[in-house]
Structure formats: structure tokens, C-alpha cells
Structure 1
Amino acid sequence: MIPVACSRTPTAHWVRFLPKQAPGLTSLQGRSVLIVGVGREGRALADRLLTQGMTSALFALDGQDGDAARAWREDYADRIALSVVDPALEPIPERLANADIALLSPGIPKTGALYQAVAALGIPMSSGTAMFVADHANTMVGVTGSKGKSTTSALIHHLLVGSGVDAALAGNMGIPVWGIDPREFQVVELSSYQCSRLETSPSVVVLTALFPEHLDWHGSEQVYYHDKLHLVAGSPDHVIANGDDVTLKRELRKRYPDLAVTWVGHNEDWHLEADGSGGHWLNHGTTRIAHSSSLNLRGDHNLRNALMAIAAASVTGKLDGASVPGLLESFEPLAHRLEPISDPSGVVFVNDSLATNPQAARAALEAFPPDQVIVLIGGHDRGVDYSPLVSHIATNPPKGVIGLPGSGQKLVDLCTQALSAAHQLGSTQLAVAASMEQAVVMARSWARPGDYVVLSPGAPSFGYYRDYEERAQDFVTWITATKETGR
């Protein structure tokens, strides 16, 4: 059993020796480098390479001449020339084709024309994240999952820092890994895109959930599973995983049958114990670590995320176990993840804009009493299976369902059919809104003090907003605008 109250001194199991050390940033000494993709990660990598001055030449390539390309030209001018190429219309310039290595950003899909064109050059391909992991694997906790990875990463970081550890938090949540200065420990959230290009594994890996996502990027469900779980291909020292996720358990065991895994779940050593009053104890073996009332997080899924975070922090040998309850209590929910917004009406609005898939929206609904929740769902329709969300709505009818522009109409139609089949159609108000303004006004008219109005779209924002943050801001704007009038 891994003790929760760990010493403050490093333990021997933290030191790892890779059978084959993957190339890190120092491997670029004297080489010409092509940065593919000029978004956040590409810029952070460029800044680090320019600062260290180790490369013989730097080039940049992107497939779109948009805001990111314009910002690159303004900020890097003559230091790193940018070429924007549509591979369907023109070849990659020869000076770029002769680079020693191409470092691809996460936004360059393997199924896309730009990736295929770079691959056809025959030069080695890697990524900035892969090189960061290679350089810092010994002191890194890597977190991935189809949902829950941001909250779990932030919790691990919070627990370590609260235990007196000099730890950095970076990765997929918007802080590029090469935008931080390495610390005693690095907690890094990794997307499936980033995992797919790794050449080694962090010493500690956390897997929060697994279900089909980003199929347009990966090409198929099985490729997505392969790429996501590639995070453990380098044989981490510790793997902490969600034992209640049937798909994760099946796919991990199928692909890595000899991998030692610490499972966190209802029937595992790390588990949740119902207290008989609606709450839960977070347990390790027979030890009660903390109570769910200590957390400012809603939903059983977040209790499990917290338990995985505790398990991951404990194996570093740095966690102050006695401080865990207080640290959980002081952890604030991340923006756009079941983030409560108070309102003078007594209705609680909840911003869960980052719920961009049906499973995440379902988890949000599970965190509230069904007869007190009105959910706003819909957005960009990627053709995914909505049944996890729709089936939950049919068996746990919420007070209201409001469809947002995009897939909102489709979702409301599916919910109507499912509720009717379950003989629950009269339990839920259903409507489709033409805008966020109309959705908020409608929700206000349905809600009563004590009710929850939850923006948990279950779909991305593409085509309607710049990103989930802009969608959330639109939600907040109309909550504020309708405070006094109620409309």
C-alpha cells in the first residue's frame, strides 16, 4: 500500500533509468529545425530555441494565413521566416524541405494534408512536447484523459505546492511546456495529439477517462485509443488510472497487458465510500483521507479525479498527507468547469462550457438534482454518438432542456424521443433557442430559486464562437444583462 502521508525527501523509486533515452532539446545543437504550426506551442518552442541559440537555422511552416500567422510575422520578423503553404496547391519550399528535423505542433492533424506533406519530405518528425518530456521525464507527472484531465492536473499541482514542493503546471490547459522554467516537479496536462508524438513516458502517468474524441484528427476510434494511451508506451514508473471506466480498463489491458496500474474506483484500494448521508469518504485501503465536504467540486467524477490526484501526488514521495483535507478545501474549481455563478434571483447559473462532448455533459448533469436543473446543450455537430447524454436525460429527466444553435435541435429531438419512450415526456420542458440570449431568457423564465441553469453543451463551439471561452463569456454576458429584468 502506498502511504498517503509521505516524507518530504525524495524516495528512491522516483529516480528512473530509461533503457533508451529519447532525444531532448539538446539534440538540436547545430541542426536546422522546421517548426510546423505557429500557435501557442510553436511560439513557446521558438522562444526557447531563440533564447538558447543552439540551432544552426530556424524555419516555420503553417497551412493557414490567419491571425496566428500574422502575429508570427509581427513578433518574429526576420528571426524565423514563416512560409504558409497549401499542400494541395504548392510544394513545401526547398529550404524547408532540407531541414534536419520537423517539430510539429498539436494542431497539425495526422490526417491532414500539411502533416502528409511534411511526412513525405522524409526528415525526422517530433514535437516540442516530446522533447520536453524526454528532458524532464524523471520529474514529471503527465495527465491525460478524454475528460477530467485539467481538474486532475491542477489538483496534483495544488497538492504538491501546498506540501512545500516547487512545482510547475503546464500543458494542454493553455500554458505551453516550453513557456515555463522547469522546477523540482512538472505537472503536465497532455492532449491526445501531444501523447501521440511522445518518444518516452513521464515517470508518473495519470489516465482519467477514455471514450472516442477528436476522430477528425486521429482518423478512427481505435487510432484515438492508441494515440491517447501512447503516454504509457515508455513504461512509466507509476500509472494511476480510473478503475470505474470500463473502456479505459479494457483498452489499457489489451494494449499493455504487462503494465502495472494503480486503479482508482469503487472496488479498488483507492476508492470512494458512501457515508450514508449523500457524501463520500475518499479512502486509501482502510484509511479515510478526506470527506467530500472538503471539496468545492461537484459530482462523483470530480471526487474520483481528486482521489487520482492524491494517489499521483503521493507516489512522488513529497505529499504532506496531514495537509490533504485542507488543501482539497482550498482548491477552487477551474474556469468553465462546473463553475458556479451567483445571481440575485436565487437561481444558480453554472458555466461548464468546456464540456465539449456528451460524456462530459452527462457527468455535469449527474452532479445536480434532476428536478432542479435546466441544461443548455448543443453546438458544433461532429457526428458523435449522443446516446450517453440522451439516455441519462431519459432516465433522470431534468427540469428543462434548451437546445443551442447547431446540434441543439438534433439533441432536443433525440431527448424528446427518448423521454417519450420512457414515458417521461411530461417531466421535462424542451425548447430550442436561436441564440445564447434567448436561451438564458428562456431558462430564467423556467427556473425558480434553488434551481440550477447549467451551460454544459456536450459539443464544441466551432462555427459559433472562437472557442469555449468566448461561448462562456456570451453566457455570462446574458446572465448579467438579464439580472434586473429577468428577460
Structure 2
Amino acid sequence: MNETNNISSTSAPSPLERAGERLVVLGAGESGVGAAYLAQQQGYEVFVSDFGAIADKYKAQLQGWNIRFEEKQHTESEILNATEVVKSPGIPEKAPIVKVLRAKGIPVISEIEFAGRYTDAKIIAITGSNGKTTTTGLTYHILKNAGLNVGLAGNIGNSFAYQVATEKFEYYVLELSSFMLDDMYEFRAHIAVLLNITPDHLDRYDYKLENYADSKFRIVQNQTAEDYFIYCADDAETLKGVGKRTIAAQLLPFSIQKALLLGAYLNGEELTINTPNNNHFIMTITKLALQGKHNIYNSMASGIVSKVLELRNESIRDSMGDFKNVAHRLEHVADISGIRFINDSKATNVNSTWYALEGMPDGKVVLILGGVDKGNDYNELAGLVQKKVKAIVCMGTDNSRIHAAFDGEVAKIVDTASAFDAVNAAYKLATKGDTVLLSPACASFDLFKNYEERGEQFKKAVMEL
């Protein structure tokens, strides 16, 4: 394919153009296009390169802003003269263009790192293997309802960089993946939250849990004694990481297993929070909008953030009581013939599925599993499957490892290769009072574009029953 066929020709110099400073953006999704706009606003010469096809929406934005771009290729002559490169978190280190950039010593950073340079807003940064989307959404909900001027970004919402370029928020709540954290160096979180560390994405970390954990702990780098680090005191890997580091921030743990002087803990049925500024908060857990043990942890983390910011208790309670979870994360779809259908398509690893099952009734779950297996150890689910699950519906192109793990452990396992077939099979296996739970424990790329499409097709199939 001729290079010039895929490179846009529109270009307009910025009135603020920095002499000799050229920013290249790899990946033209939400984060990349946002970074390109902010870079142009800040006076860089900007070029965007995507090895795949660029969605029409983003192509139109780049053209409207007169930002040069290419798709379906990486042209080295356009990229290797960069002063700095902003890389999409989805591009792995093993990608050839990234290897060349590293070899040449050209700085490669994330959109979050880049955007963080151009805002003086207070940053609440949230990471973890599981629960970060829910906790980020809940924290944003509490802050916004309390009247704070707050933005939502990272893995959720609109591009952080684009918001920095176009808004004047005083606070940001950011959901950060390990891939984002890997390319962050000077970024500082005023309040950092680490929910948990369980095996995930290990193919990006040489299959070593300690490498993945190190990535998660990058969230505390650059914090000072004026900042706060909120973490789960019941999570073994997190405690191991805290133990081997000197963390400058003030530590605020949370636990459902033991009482804590500072942070959050359970006192019977009461979620109790104490923060260093003598702020105290109590809420009965039965009044939380998010139920289940894992969601008590999520609510604790959000609650600590709220009390660090000295929000009113009444406002926090109202927000924690009326929050609606994000789509595809333990999302109630419908009750049909007395059977409850739950969409947990965002559960792309075993631990997420474990959390989902943990909150389900004993012996009454028809579980839909399967997809692209990332090296899953299904043994972690064995105890919960025996206790909670009456049947498994496999939804994937290769279900052999699910069969190997659970044949003989549940009464029935069936194979399907579409959301429609999976829902219909589950409906036939379920009886009144049961729950059909889509919580795949796998990535979606064998049958779907992403977990969102998987969840939407599941919901559509349910509504067609």
C-alpha cells in the first residue's frame, strides 16, 4: 500500500508553535485523539499514527482540527523525528515501532502523563485489578453531587487530555490501568487508590505477578506527605507491596476483617470511616446502593476519598445510596419468568468472576463463561462454582479449558458460540428463583469486538426471550 494514500495532508501551524518540538501520537482512539488536540493547543507540531483503521468519528475530529494523521501503518520517517511520543495504552512494548523508539531513546509516555502537565486540578487516581470502574464511577458521583467542579477520565469517560484542553475542572477522578501507569513518570496523584492486586494481563508482564504489582504501585510515585494513599488492608499482594516501599503519602487502609484507627472498616453492619482531619462517617451497609462484599470495599475506598475532601456526611450517604453502577458490571438486565438476568460482561478475568459469584445465592446460578482465555487458573473458582452454580453455559470458540476445570463439578455444561444461543441455553437450564449470570472470566475478542458489544448482545438476547 502506498504510504501517502493513508496520510492526511491537512496541516496548519499553531500560533503557539514550539520551535522544533514535535509530538507524535500512536493510536487514534479516545485517548490519542484527545492528546493530539491538547498538544496542538500547547503549540506542538503534531502527527497521529495508527496501525489500524481509524474510526470515522476520530478521523473527522482530526481533520476538523487540521491535525495530520495516518492509518493502517506506522511510517518511521514521520515518527522517529519526534521530540516525544504519546502511546495508546493498548499498544504493547513488543510492538515493532515501540522497540525502535526505545532503542533510539525517544521518550514514550501516556496520555495521562502528558495531560497532567497542563492542569493544576486535584487528581484522585484509582487503580486495581478489579472494581476500579465501579469505584471511579461512585467517587465521581459522590463528588459531583456534593457540588465539586469535577471531571471523569482515564479508562472511563472522555479523554483526560481533551478535557484538560477544553474544561477548567478543579478535580479529576481518573480510572488508571496498569498499561497507563507503565508510561507515567512525573504524574502526581493527590489521592491515590489501590483496590487490589490479582493476576491479570500477565502476558504483558513476563508472566510475573511481581512485575504487574510494581506497575500498579506506580500510582504512588511522586506523592508527598500532603497526599493520601488509600489501599485494601485485606489484600495480600497489596500489603506485600506496601511493606517493601517507602511511601511518602499518608496511608489510609480499608478492611472488612479488622478495626482500623484511620481509614475504613466494618463495625458490625456499619461502614465506619476515620480520616486524619478528624472527619468521621458511619453508614449502614444495607443502605448502600452497591451490595456484596467486593462492593463494600469499593464503597469504603470512595468514602475515604470523600472524607479526605471533607464532604458532608449527609451528601455522601445520599450518593452512596442512589448510585447506579456502570453498564456491563453486575448490571441487572431483566426478570423473566422469575429468572434474574445479570450482565457482568466486564468481568474479563477469573478474579472478577469470583467477585461476581461471591455475591450470588447458593445453588441458584446458571453461569455463562468463556471467550479468549488469558492463561486463566479456573481452580480459583472451584469452591464458589461448587457452592453457587447449578449449570455452566460456555460461550466461546474454544471451551476446552472450561470443560477440563468443571466437568463433573456441576450437573450440566453446554457449549454455545453466540450470545443469543448462550442466553437461550441458560434460560432453558434455569428455573424460577435462579440467576443467569454472564461473567465470562475471559476477554471477548473471539466472538465480539469488545466486552461492551458482548454485553449489549447479551442484553438484546435477554429482551428477545
TM normalised by structure 1 equals 0.83
Is contact 2:357-2:388 (8 Å) kept?
Answer: no
Counterpart in the other structure of 2:395: 404
Which secondary structure state, in structure 2, belongs to the residue aligned with residue 230 of structure 1?
helix
Alignment of structure 1 residues 19-418 onto 2, 5 Å: 29-30=18-19, 31-50=21-40, 52=41, 54-55=43-44, 57-62=45-50, 64-68=51-55, 73-77=59-63, 79-83=66-70, 92-93=76-77, 95-136=78-119, 139-180=122-163, 181-198=167-184, 199-221=186-208, 222-236=210-224, 237-256=227-246, 260-265=250-255, 266-269=257-260, 270-273=263-266, 275=268, 280-284=269-273, 289-317=282-310, 319-394=311-386, 396-406=387-397, 408-416=399-407
- How far, CA to CA, are the matches of 1:203 and 1:257 in structure 2? 13
Which residue is 1:24 aligned to?
none
Runs of 4+ in 1 over 6 A off after TM superposition: none
- Following the alignment from structure 2 to structure 1, what is the Cα–Cα distance between the partners of residues 234 and 22? 46
Unaligned runs of 5+ in 2: 1-15
> Take 1:99 and 1:465, find their aligned partners in 2: how far apart are those partners?
35
Counterpart code for 1:291: T
Task: Give secondary structure in 1 for the equivalent of 2:158.
Answer: coil
Deviation readout 1:89-119 (Å, 9 max, x if unpaired): xx711x4322221122212212322211222
- Superposed displacement of residue 389, structure 1: 1.9
SS in 1 for 2:371: coil
Q: CA deviation at 1:293?
A: 2.1
- The amino acid across from 1:405 in the alignment is G
**CA 1:355–1:28 in structure 2 vs 1: closer, same or farther (change >3 Å)?**
farther
> Does the 8 Å contact 1:379/1:462 carry over to 2?
yes
Corresponding residue SS for 2:76: coil
In the TM superposition, residue 467 of structure 1 has moved relative to its aligned partner by: 0.6
Query: What secondary structure sits across from 1:35 in the alignment?
Result: strand
Q: CA deviation at 1:145?
A: 0.6
Q: Which residue number corresponds to residue 18 of structure 1?
A: none
* 1:479 paired residue number: 462
Query: 8 Å contact 2:52–2:73 — kept in the other structure?
Result: no
Relative to structure 1, the CA distance from residue 397 to residue 186 in structure 2 (aligned partners, 3 Å threshold; closer, same or farther) is: closer
The aligned residue for residue 433 of structure 2 is 450
Corresponding pairs, count: 434
Pair 1:258–1:168, CA change in 2 (3 A): closer
Structure 2 counterparts to residues 458-473 of structure 1, below 5 A: 458-473=441-456
Q: Distance in 1 between matches of 2:90 and 2:325?
A: 27
Question: Do 2:28 and 2:54's aligned partners in 1 also have CA atoms closer than 8 Å?
Answer: no
In 2 relative to 1, CA 84–326 (structure 1 residues): closer, same or farther, beyond 3 Å? closer
Q: 1:260 to 1:385 in 2, by over 3 A?
A: farther
Distance, in Å, in 2 between the alignment partners of 1:335 and 1:445 is 25
Give 1:338's aligned amino acid: L
Q: What code does the residue aligned with 1:190 have?
A: L
What is the RMSD of the two structures over their aligned residues, measured on CA atoms?
Answer: 2.5
Question: 2:121–2:170: 8 Å Cα contact kept in structure 1?
Answer: no
Is residue 127–residue 194 contact of structure 2 (8 Å, CA) maintained in 1?
yes
Give the residue type in structure 2 aligned to 1:400: A
CA distance in 2, matches of 1:168, 1:255: 31
Q: What is the CA-CA distance between 1:130 and the residue it aligns to? A: 0.3
Q: How far off is 1:304 after superposition?
A: 1.0
Instruction: State the shift of 1:209 in Å.
Output: 1.1
Please state whether the residue corresponding to 1:371 is helix, strand or coil: coil
TM-superposed CA distance for 1:32, in Å, is 1.4
| 2:5 equivalent in structure 1 | none
- Distance in 1 (CA, whole Å) between partners of 2:144 and 2:101 is 41
> CA distance change for structure 1 residues 211 and 28 in 2, over 3 Å: closer, same or farther?
farther
CA contact (8 A) 1:207 1:241 kept: yes
Moved more, 334-343 or 379-388: 379-388
Report if aligned partners of 2:264, 2:304 keep a CA contact under 8 Å in 1: no
- The one-letter amino acid paired with 2:200 is E
CA displacement 1:428-460 (0-9 Å, x = unmatched): 433222332222112112222222111000111
Q: Give the deviation of 1:346 after TM superposition.
A: 1.8
Do the aligned partners of 1:133 and 1:202 also contact (CA within 8 Å) in 2?
no
- For residue 287 of structure 1, report the CA deviation from its aligned partner: 6.2
Specify the code of the residue in structure 2 equivalent to 1:40.
Answer: E
Instruction: Tell me the distance in 2 between the aligned counterparts of 1:304 and 1:28.
Output: 47
- The answer to whether the 8 A contact 1:338-1:351 is kept is yes
Partner of 1:22: none
Give how far 1:41 is off. Answer: 0.7
Task: Tell me, yes or no, if the aligned pair for 1:402 and 1:408 is still in contact at 8 Å.
Answer: no
Contact 1:374–1:398 (8 Å) recurs in 2: yes
Q: Which amino acid aligns with 1:189?
A: E
Look up the equivalent residue of 2:395 and give its one-letter code. L
Show the counterpart of 2:13.
Answer: none
Alignment partners' CA distance in 2, 1:201 and 1:322 = 30
Preserved contact between residue 270 and residue 283 of structure 2 (Cα < 8 Å)? yes
- 1:84 to partner: Cα distance: 5.1
CA distance in 1, matches of 2:314, 2:61: 48
Q: How far 1:86 moved relative to its partner?
A: 6.0
CA distance in 1, matches of 2:59, 2:138: 37
